[in-house]
Amino acid sequence: MRFSKLSCPCACALASALSLSPLLAATAAALPPPVPAAEASPLRAWFVAPTRVLWTSDSGVTNASGLLGPKPGQAVLKSPTPPCTLAPAANGATGGAILLDFGRELTGNIEIITPMAKSKEPPLVRVRFGESAAEAMADLGGPANAQNDHALRDFSVRLPWLGKTTLGPSGFRFVRIDNLDPALPVQIGEVRAVLLLRDAPRVGAFRCDDERLNRIWEVGAYTVHLNMQEYLWDGVKRDRLVWIGDMHPEVATINAVFGFNDVVPRSLDLTRDITPPTEWMNGISSYSMWWVLIHEQCWLHQGNRAYLAAQQTYLQALLKRLAGLVGPDGRERINGTRFLDWPSSPNKQGVTAGLQGLLVMTLDAGARLMRELGDPATAKLCTEAADRGRKVVPDVNGAKSGAALLVLAGMRDATTTATEVLKAGGAANISTFYGYYVLQALAQAGEVDTALDFISRYWGGMLDLGATTFWEDFDLAWMENAARIDELVPPGKKDVHGGYGAYCYIGFRHSLCHGWASGPTAWLSEHVLGVTPLEPGFRRVRVAPRLGRLQWAEGKYPTPLGPIEVRHQRQADGRVESTIRAPEGVTVVRG
């Protein structure tokens, strides 16, 4: 029976609505009223069956293939297929064990469904989640540094007789189950994943004549979608947290794929509300700057003035603080944690250059926002500080991230910087986070083909190693003699997950689904499709495709008034002919 939502939650209204008998109505009236949920979950559940049995122990496993394919998700008295059985760990021997592959990175839980066994005693099992096959096979700690941080991924639990056990949540693709019980076999009728994420329909789309780029766009979109939980996270295994700086490329991807989604303001407001403007968001100075820049992103893409106005008090206080960090000589005097991202951190001079550029970018954006909000005094303060800061252009010491930020701040010539710094060594020495800003700077230099090559080689390199989402960090040098993450590491091959990583992501602590790595998705929509807002809320939009070596590209870009649809086709004479369909209320400026 299906019940519609009732207008009144009290027990009397419930009894009346369901037309209960007098006895039942009296019983219902005597019960305390149900406690309404403070907030409905924004997440939905999808069930995912394992696609293959990747490994079983040498002995002690029968009917493993019976776990594959869709099943009802319900314990039953009699199943048409025999259960998978894991033999007990008796007489000092290891019990039966199995490794399942769910086909792609997921976030959520697993359900283990058990049949009617001979014994009602609950057997003990060990369950391990893994973003790679090697992680699911690893023990906690050790040189490979497997962890239970943020979400448990390695634990023991007893399974009921004729029932269902839900385990998680975590981020994973692989699940290993071991029988730890010394006396009892483990019988499993079904294992399925429960994918939990927002039911956010894709509005944006991208296709071109390069299938590798198409795949990269899709993987970037999926990476961010997995992280669109109650809040916008950075990772679904580790870093299930709101990191404001990391959100900047994530929000760019959300704008290009989904359009407006409540997860963005919800996350921005959470961090604002727990961080006084006298402190730095997430304890990192640059992250408070990214908060300002994200708000300008949101303003341009959504045009929600009421939401922007709600930030005015905090913005004003934060921008005054930031303006005070530009000295009379124009040099930044940023205190606290001086950080861009982890791979750039050893190059202190490169970080200094990047922070100088980022501070100028932030003050410029702050001036524009405060003029919109009718605060010319704070806008003037920001402009004067930015103008002082623009005159100081620190040496980048070869740092591509720092150089890119100086280009985007208008402080270094884009063409010269691309030649001298960004193109040096090709796609080497970029990062999954700041690689996005390197791509943006290359676009300013007109180096579209170079940017496409960086995307194909660097982000495509992760796909070549079996990735279905983009990683917290990646180095092209890791590819040499590396095993794929969707296979067990054979002798003589390197474990690209457990054997690399640094800083806070050594070995298996390394996240293989990190939203900050999605930059190419936003970049391809913005630069190849060529769609950028000229006025808040896309009242005016520029469509200026930059195909580079591509012969055609097509797709959609979300706006508050509906998607803009474009197709760009290179003609025999080299010209690009564009077909553009824009919703009513959107003025298109070509080129």
Measured over the CA atoms of residue 48, residue 54, residue 60 and residue 66, the dihedral's sign is positive
CA pair distance 253, 242, nearest whole angstrom: 16
- The pair of three-digit structure tokens given for residue 449, joined into one six-digit string: 């083909």
- The pair of three-digit structure tokens given for residue 357, joined into one six-digit string: 């550029």
Max CA distance (Å), the chain: 85
pTM: 0.94
- Phi and psi at residue 395, to the nearest 5°: -65, 140
- Give residue 508's identity as a one-letter amino acid code: F
- The pair of three-digit structure tokens given for residue 393, joined into one six-digit string: 């252009």
CA pair distance 156, 161, nearest whole angstrom: 17
Crossing angle, helix 348-372 and helix 312-323, to 10 degrees?
140
Local confidence pLDDT in tens for the 591 residues of the chain:
232 333 333 334 333 434 456 665 666 666 676 666 668 899 999 999 999 999 999 999 999 999 998 899 999 998 889 999 999 998 888 899 999 999 999 999 999 999 999 999 999 999 999 999 999 999 999 999 999 999 999 999 999 999 999 999 999 999 999 999 999 999 999 999 999 999 999 999 999 999 999 999 999 999 999 999 999 999 999 999 999 999 999 999 999 999 999 999 999 999 999 999 999 999 999 999 999 999 999 999 999 999 999 999 999 999 999 999 999 999 999 998 999 999 999 999 999 999 999 999 999 999 999 999 999 999 999 999 999 999 999 999 999 999 999 999 999 999 999 999 999 999 999 999 999 999 999 999 999 999 999 999 999 999 999 999 999 999 999 999 999 999 999 999 999 999 999 999 999 999 999 999 999 999 999 999 999 999 999 999 999 999 999 999 999 999 999 999 999 999 999 999 999 999 999 999 998
CA pair distance 362, 292, nearest whole angstrom: 6
Measured over the CA atoms of residue 148, residue 152, residue 153 and residue 157, the dihedral's sign is positive
- Closest by CA position to 252, among listed 204, 215, 287: 204
CATH of domain 44-198: 2.60.120.260
Query: Do the beta carbons of residue 527 and residue 490 sit within 8 Å?
Result: no
CA pair distance 380, 385, nearest whole angstrom: 9
CA pair distance 151, 109, nearest whole angstrom: 11
- Give residue 268's identity as a one-letter amino acid code: L
- Collect all residues with Cβ–Cβ distance below 8 Å to 265 and sequence separation of at least 6: 298, 307
CA pair distance 296, 304, nearest whole angstrom: 11
CA pair distance 55, 432, nearest whole angstrom: 31
Q: Is 128 left (phi over 0), alpha (psi -120 to 50) or beta?
A: beta
Place of tokens 């394992």: 50
- Phi and psi at residue 386, to the nearest 5°: -65, -40
Q: Where are the domains of the chain?
A: 11-36, 44-198
